[in-house]
Structure 1
Amino acid sequence: MIKAKFMATGAVLAIAAMALTGCSSDSGSDSSSNIGLSEEAAAALEVAYTGVGTELNLDSIKDVPKDVNLYVVSCGEQVPGCSVPAAAVKAAAEKLGWTATIADGKLNPEGFATAIRQGVAGGANVIIPIGIGCGVAQAAFQEAVDAGVKIIGGGGVDDCDPKLWASERLWLEDFNPIQQWEEFGKLQADYAFGKHNGEVNAIVLNFTGQVFGQWITDGFTKELEALGNKGKVLETVDVSDPETQDGSMLQKVNTAILNNPDANTLIVPIDGWLVGGLAQAIVQSGSAEQLLVVSRGGDAPVLDMIRAGGQGVNATIGFAVGWGAWGSVDTAARVLSGGTPAWIGESMQAVDVDHNMPKSGGYEGAVDYQKVFSSAWGK
């Protein structure tokens, strides 16, 4: 069973503010950072720092299957947001005694399809696609299913019609997949609202390569509207996979910043974009002092930038990708054993230089998830 901790949002913020700022929590928040903020802004910031925290409690799996050949389809091994969870899936599968192979999707739909077909050719029993939805590689997923392969979600969604996957990875019982992705954008809005005392003038980068990109954007805009006050989106900039690969995204973002001199916030949906040149471009353009840059991921290189300061990013909504990766393997084990997939959780919360920042590496959350999963597997 997953127990979730939720904080007040939207219209409830004003009521919750005094209680939230007057006590400590395990979110790593510091009430001194709320000095000078309105009650609404202080409460929003506390929501972002607390995030959605979970306690992971799992029933044991009876008769965990053996001799399983698992292929992990990484969205792209050149970026930590794909390679880190792919490696974590491999480690979790090997903990179970399974054979595990990583196939590189190379950050494009053609590469995704090739990697899926590599798994089929390699005799996979299970394929776990990392950060890849069904719709972007539907034909290849159909071929895998026709070959008897079980597809288990690795953070993406089964948006094929009809659905093809044996199971998505289940997050929290009170959230559907769309709401889970919207939560990232919501926490970005809470953070920006709090940091700017309600006066948010945002440029929002909207990822068009997969369906979840729009959901993150929707989560931001909905929460900013719910928070009210003076927060607004000045411009939404659509960014595709080809534009991130050929570097043309950087010019689009720079143009949006130049066209919106009143902007004080830049919302980034993927940490890897910052590592891939966006952060450097922000610094070189002189926009780092103007913009509060809030990303999503919690990748180690981005956390290093935040730790250092002045590197083109101020905060990210961290989520425990290793935890989620082990959860995908847990889901596969339960499906293969004829059981019901569990709600495995995956904590997410705002991380900046003073809050929720691990001493080193990427964001992992506060639960020893490997110990909990291993216990459920009898390992």
Structure 2
Amino acid sequence: MPMFRVLTSRRSLLTTATAATCLALTACSGSSTKTAITTPTDAATPPTATGTTTATGAAPVSSAPLHAPAGTARPAAKGKKIGVISSGQASISSSVPVGAAVEAAKALGWTATVYDEQLNPASAPGLVRQAIASGANGIVLDATDCPTVKGAMEEAKAKGIVMVGIYSFDCNDPLFGGGGVPLFTGVINYGPGASDIGKFTEGYGADQAKAVIAATGGKAKVVFFNDQEFTVLRYTGKGFLDELKKCPGCSVVAKIDFTGAELGPNLQQKVTSALLQHPEATVVKSPYTAATLLGIGPAVVQSGRASKLYVMGGEGFAPELDLIRTGQGLNAVNIAPSDWTAYAAVDTMNSLFTKAPIADSGLGWQLVDKANGLPANGPYIPSVDFKAVYKKAWGV
């Protein structure tokens, strides 16, 4: 789903940073799984985002809790060949969901080939065309929005090739003007509450804002950072800001944009300057994991104000969880498993092949802080063994 990963920064700086810190905007939190399967009812009681409560006494909870995928039988389509377009295998943020997509395809008995953009979106159209030329029946596009590969997608559609995205927006998305023709064959089913994927994505940011409001007792003074290069972050950022406006005692004291090219010292300097200019700030909002690790977290610690600032992080990959455990400039994250999303994309493709209804993926998100839902070590592990559910539904 679009909101759960920062759509790999597509720059060599991020590749280097990923290797150095295992950051991965989605990957380090690409979940491991347990054998126990929870039902939607079990999973609908997520942890609170913080130990504090709002003025009304209600602790914030996830508006879209994770739950087991639908178990409806949907037998595997036979003999399919698919291509998986990765936005950059050098970054774990792509390699984990892409690897999970390949794993799911193999479980279905399909052949899967990975085509690597190498963090260069300009190569995406050519890679889609390579997949077409290979005789692929389906193409999964990782973090590649439709406008980026419109011509190649039109060619694939003309040949009847099934296309599904992982964290990708279609050409008719309102943020692209809303007038384009949709080219993805189908989209992941996030449940009845997600008929408007943009609004659903905004809900992710809104839940982050609710946690911030609760943690500050309704007195949040926010330094808000965002990277508007990415469609998903435009939605999550809007959700956060719109929800914060509902809090009479809250305000945004600084709104600062940056780009992926600034990850590292440049971003850290921006954060440092903002904190110096706004001693009244009580909250810092990070848009994604890489920004937390390569700028925001270090600047907060160096400011000497870590104990006085509430920092809302990104997707909650393992390095961010380590920062929460050790109190190093991060208080909470909003987690959604990227490998689960990849399995859901392949399940969607299978249903499109067999002309079956696209089943509820069970996907959502879970707010985690030091007191709620934080594992003792390592990555977040969902209670739902989604792989087992999917394989049973596929009959494999």
- Does TM, normalized by the shorter one, top 0.5? yes
1:283 to 301, 304, 309: 301
Aligned to 2:362: 345
Aligned to 1:116: 128
Q: What CA RMSD, in Å, does the superposition of the two structures yield over aligned residues? A: 2.9
Rate the CA distance shift 1:29–1:278 in 2: closer, same or farther, 3 A.
Answer: closer
Aligned to 1:20: none
2:242 to 222, 228, 237: 222
For residues 12-36 of structure 1, what are the alpha-carbon distances to aligned partners after superposition, in whole Å with 9 as ceiling and x for unaligned?
A: xxxxxxxxxxxxx9434599x33xx
Amino acid at match of 1:232: S
Which range is displaced more, 141-150 or 156-165? Answer: 141-150
Aligned to 2:227: 207
> What is the SS of the residue equivalent to 1:297?
coil
Q: Report the alpha carbon displacement of residue 290 of structure 1 after superposing the two structures with TM.
A: 4.1
Q: For the Cα contact (< 8 Å) 1:317–1:348, is it kept in 2?
A: yes
Unaligned runs of 5+ in 1: 6-24
Q: Report the alpha carbon displacement of residue 182 of structure 1 after superposing the two structures with TM.
A: 0.6
- 1:82-101 correspondence to structure 2 within 5 Å: 82-101=94-113
For residues 229-284 of structure 1, what are the alpha-carbon distances to aligned partners after superposition, in whole Å with 9 as ceiling and x for unaligned?
A: 3111122222334444x864444333333332222212122213334454334434
Instruction: Indicate whether 1:256 and 2:274 are aligned.
Output: yes
> What is the SS of the residue equivalent to 2:256?
strand
Q: Report the alpha carbon displacement of residue 204 of structure 1 after superposing the two structures with TM.
A: 1.7
- 1:19-168 correspondence to structure 2 within 5 Å: 26-29=45-48, 33-34=51-52, 37-40=53-56, 42-43=57-58, 45-48=59-62, 52-62=65-75, 64-160=76-172, 161-168=180-187
> What is the SS of the residue equivalent to 2:284?
strand
Rate the CA distance shift 1:60–1:185 in 2: closer, same or farther, 3 A.
Answer: same
Q: Report the alpha carbon displacement of residue 174 of structure 1 after superposing the two structures with TM.
A: 1.6
Q: Identical aligned pairs, as a percentage?
A: 28
Query: Quick one: distance in 1 between partners of 2:107 and 2:78?
Result: 11
> What is the SS of the residue equivalent to 2:291?
helix
Query: Quick one: distance in 2 between partners of 1:90 and 1:134?
Result: 21
Query: Quick one: distance in 1 between partners of 2:355 and 2:304?
Result: 57
Query: Quick one: distance in 1 between partners of 2:127 and 2:279?
Result: 43
Q: Report the alpha carbon displacement of residue 38 of structure 1 after superposing the two structures with TM.
A: 4.8
Query: Quick one: distance in 2 between partners of 1:364 and 1:278?
Result: 25
Query: Quick one: distance in 2 between partners of 1:230 and 1:362?
Result: 35
Q: For the Cα contact (< 8 Å) 2:68–2:389, is it kept in 1?
A: no
- 1:176-195 correspondence to structure 2 within 5 Å: 176-195=196-215
Q: Report the alpha carbon displacement of residue 198 of structure 1 after superposing the two structures with TM.
A: 0.8
Amino acid at match of 2:276: L
**Greater RCO structure (CA 8 Å; 6+ sep):** 2
Query: Quick one: distance in 2 between partners of 1:114 and 1:290?
Result: 50
Query: Quick one: distance in 2 between partners of 1:196 and 1:100?
Result: 48
For residues 26-85 of structure 1, what are the alpha-carbon distances to aligned partners after superposition, in whole Å with 9 as ceiling and x for unaligned?
A: 434599x33xx5543x42x3325x7524342232114x2222222222333344433222
Q: Report the alpha carbon displacement of residue 136 of structure 1 after superposing the two structures with TM.
A: 3.3
> What is the SS of the residue equivalent to 2:89?
coil
Instruction: Indicate whether 1:235 and 2:254 are aligned.
Output: yes
Amino acid at match of 1:81: S
Aligned to 1:15: none
> What is the SS of the residue equivalent to 2:361?
coil
Rate the CA distance shift 1:38–1:182 in 2: closer, same or farther, 3 A.
Answer: closer
Q: Report the alpha carbon displacement of residue 124 of structure 1 after superposing the two structures with TM.
A: 2.6
TM superposition score normalised by structure 2: 0.79
Q: Report the alpha carbon displacement of residue 374 of structure 1 after superposing the two structures with TM.
A: 0.7
2:350 to 315, 318, 333: 333
Q: Report the alpha carbon displacement of residue 144 of structure 1 after superposing the two structures with TM.
A: 3.5
Amino acid at match of 2:272: N
Q: Report the alpha carbon displacement of residue 184 of structure 1 after superposing the two structures with TM.
A: 1.2
Query: Quick one: distance in 1 between partners of 2:227 and 2:345?
Result: 24
Query: Quick one: distance in 1 between partners of 2:341 and 2:118?
Result: 21
Q: For the Cα contact (< 8 Å) 1:81–1:272, is it kept in 2?
A: no
Query: Quick one: distance in 1 between partners of 2:297 and 2:126?
Result: 31
Q: Report the alpha carbon displacement of residue 4 of structure 1 after superposing the two structures with TM.
A: 6.5
Q: For the Cα contact (< 8 Å) 2:190–2:364, is it kept in 1?
A: no
Unaligned runs of 5+ in 2: 1-38, 173-179
Q: For the Cα contact (< 8 Å) 1:129–1:154, is it kept in 2?
A: yes
Q: For the Cα contact (< 8 Å) 1:264–1:292, is it kept in 2?
A: yes
Query: Quick one: distance in 2 between partners of 1:116 and 1:313?
Result: 39
Aligned to 2:19: none
Query: Quick one: distance in 2 between partners of 1:152 and 1:51?
Result: 22
Query: Quick one: distance in 1 between partners of 2:138 and 2:211?
Result: 38
Q: For the Cα contact (< 8 Å) 2:85–2:128, is it kept in 1?
A: yes
Query: Quick one: distance in 1 between partners of 2:250 and 2:232?
Result: 23
Q: Report the alpha carbon displacement of residue 173 of structure 1 after superposing the two structures with TM.
A: 1.4
